[in-house]
Amino acid sequence: MIVYRLARTKFANDLSGEGSRLHGGRWNPVGVPCMYTSVSRALAVLEYTVNTNIDDIPRSLSMVAVEIPDDDIQIIPVGMLPGNWMAAPAPDETKNFGADLLRPPVHLVIQMPSVVIPDEFNYILNPLHPRAREFNIIEIKDFVYDIRIMST
């Protein structure tokens, strides 16, 4: 299966989850590494957009395509998610829920519904899982962010 993430070019080759470990995210608290990816390039751009201030968008972005094993994906139905999973900013309940799925490294990949488009999916990659070496970057392309996406 191919998943996508939009990243600063200098981090495009990084599959360590270090950025999320340092800053946390909806499904992980600070200190727990993971990689946020999306089912499509378009969803990756939308997810990046809702999580970035227009003044913080770097000039050098890349769209990264990552091949992941599709035989070890934990699918999380909406009914299992914390009741406030769509809240902004992301609540502690979602961070703790995700951390429980990521540590110990039980799940290689976790499928979560997108808050932006709940009928679409994001894939949380676990870099601590023994099979994480099977994540394979298959393409990195320069990406020019069209700021009209953020225009009001």
- Phi, psi for residue 39 in degrees, rounded to 5: -70, -25
In the chain, domain spans? 2-144
pLDDT of residue 12: 97
- The CA distance from 109 to 3, in Å, is 11
pLDDT tens-digit profile, the chain (152 residues)? 999 999 999 999 999 999 999 999 999 999 999 999 999 999 999 999 998 877 777 789 999 999 999 999 999 999 999 999 999 999 999 999 999 999 887 899 999 999 999 999 999 999 999 999 999 999 999 999 888 887 65
What global pTM score does this model have? 0.94
Beta strand residue intervals within the chain, DSSP E:
2-8, 35-38, 61-67, 73-75, 109-113, 121-125, 136-143
